[in-house]
Structure 1
């Protein structure tokens, strides 16, 4: 099933950055599956010494960027899952608190890449089996109304956003 692009009133303003990363007319489900392969190949091809690189003081390392991608994948997927079932009210999350709350730099890049792949694959199982009605469900996240449709697009766009930053500033 082709999932239509969400309207701007279906997600918080900041999320427009992510939604707009998904090309017009793209099949977001194919994009989610295809970008997963590209991201996995990128991260598993990096040498270990590169994994601790940060392009500026105070910026995340490559491992921390991937950890953040995992955190966000998990949060967006959970939100979509919950809201697809009922009009849930869910909390926000602070990306810096989440990254600082763990030590991604002491984990292997391979292990992080494997976790990202497993998390995306889990989300794909959920997303692929949603009905049209579930995709159109509304909930609240971080005190803002949002649809499941928007969360699916945000998931794809968030990954694309960080892959672009990695290529422009890290690699």
Structure 2
């Protein structure tokens, strides 16, 4: 898969795309699936309630956000691959604040993320080159389907970095 170019995604998404670097994005998505599952499934529910500062997400909330975003980016890729052209944005804080990730078992959240990533990998691997090049509008910005594939990997890399740097989890 060819890395998307600036202009294939919003300026905000550039950070996520950049975190993929020159890695094979499919291999990265597969490796992350295993890495994240091992990381989160080995935590206790008590550890999942840790937040590194007041008004910051707990580990469970951050993982729940990763699940929400994985679904959202994958849905956008699916919709645009089928030639539908515009979708609204989403507010990550509204999403997290309107569910109770803290009451869920951390192992269930880890399993949900792994299952979701596995399903998304099947979808991504089935996209044709033509589908990967298709575009649509999300959050008032143009995106290609391939940009969302890279954003899936980059968003997870971003949060794995935060878990290491701010939560002390690796």
Same fold, TM-score > 0.5, yes or no: yes
Q: For 1:105-144, what aligned pairs fall within 5 Å after superposition?
A: 105-144=102-141
Distance 1:142 1:121 in 2: 26
Q: CA deviation at 1:119?
A: 1.0
Structure 1: runs of 5+ lacking an equivalent: none
Q: For 1:17-32, what aligned pairs fall within 5 Å after superposition?
A: 17-24=15-22, 26-32=23-29
Q: CA deviation at 1:4?
A: 1.1
2:38 maps to what in 1? 41
Aligned residues: 168
Q: CA deviation at 1:80?
A: 0.2
Q: For 1:146-157, what aligned pairs fall within 5 Å after superposition?
A: 146-157=143-154
**TM-score, normalization by structure 1:** 0.96
Distance 1:110 1:88 in 2: 36
SS in 1 for 2:52: coil
Q: CA deviation at 1:88?
A: 2.0
Q: CA deviation at 1:47?
A: 2.4
1:66 maps to what in 2? 63
2:3 maps to what in 1? 5
Distance 2:115 2:91 in 1: 23
1:95 maps to what in 2? 92
Structure 2: runs of 5+ lacking an equivalent: none
**TM-score, normalization by structure 2:** 0.97
Distance 1:159 1:65 in 2: 11
Distance 2:85 2:114 in 1: 27
